Chains A and B, each alone.
Chain A
Amino acid sequence: GEDVEQSLFLSVREGDSSVINCTYTDSSSTYLYWYKQEPGAGLQLLTYIFSNMDMKQDQRLTVLLNKKDKHLSLRIADTQTGDSAIYFCAESLSYSGGGADGLTFGKGTHLIIQP
């Protein structure tokens, strides 16, 4: 079955880079996503990567995909206090920006920013 694993907490100093890691089990996953959830808010799609890509960069965000090891990471450069949130990794067989069909979420990583 499908399973997505993430560490529950990550603590970084403001200004440092944050690297949030995720492993998944479904080798047929085609799209992998990163969502952000701030306290008391819904989920926000940050970025996604197609499985035939190794890397995707978008401003301060860099996504790395190691398909062989089924490992996905999200790097946030120059981490700010506003980046404090829960970050969810998710996988699916087809593009689903809606996070619906076939999307499996991890439990989320709490990113804690130290001043």
Chain B
Amino acid sequence: EAGVVQSPRYKIIEKKQPVAFWCNPISGHNTLYWYLQNLGQGPELLIRYENEEAVDDSQLPKDRFSAERLKGVDSTLKIQPAELGDSAVYLCASSLDGETEAFFGQGTRLTVV
């Protein structure tokens, strides 16, 4: 069974450009998470979806970040425009529901230059 798939694995963009990350959760998993992991830090939750509904986006910087999970399966996370400080690893995870173990993707490493 495939795990959580994220793409791209790496992305380098110039500041002020837009960027998007894609996540395909494990089949049947209703809960999907996006995390931000800065270098040398633990992950920080950006947004959590239950099916297609964003149930916790309190940590998502809404001035430049947006996310969607239109059909309750795949999800995209977008940054527009990107800033130098956005350089980090963006992790996606999914779980059957919000109370069972989540499985993480390998992440997308973003470098903003």
Contacts and interface: CB of A to CB of B under 8 A. Distances in A.
Interface of A: 4, 8, 40-45, 88, 90, 95-101, 103-108
Contacts of B101: 45, 97-98
Which one of A4, A44, A100 has the highest number of Cβ atoms from chain B below 10 Å of its Cβ? A100
21 contacts: A8-B40, A40-B107, A41-B107, A42-B104, A42-B106, A42-B107, A43-B91, A45-B102, A88-B43, A97-B95, A97-B101, A98-B31, A98-B93, A98-B95, A99-B43, A99-B45, A100-B33, A101-B45, A101-B98, A106-B42, A107-B40
Nearest to A105: B42
Contacts of B106: 40-42
Contacts of B42: 4, 88, 90, 104-108
Q: Which of the four size classes fits the interface of chain B?
A: 20 to 34
B100 to A, nearest CB: 5
Contact of A100 (B98, B105, B107): B98
Nearest to A98: B102
Contact of B100 (A44, A97, A105, A107): A97
Interface string B81-101: 000000000010101001111
Contacts of B56: 100-101
A45 B105 CA distance: 13
B42 to A, nearest CB: 3
B99 A42 contact: no
A25 to B, nearest CB: 15
A96 B93 CA distance: 13
Contact of A103 (B45, B95, B105): B45
Contacts of A95: 99
Contacts of B44: 105
B98 to A, nearest CB: 6
Given A42-B105, A42-B106, A99 B93 contact: yes
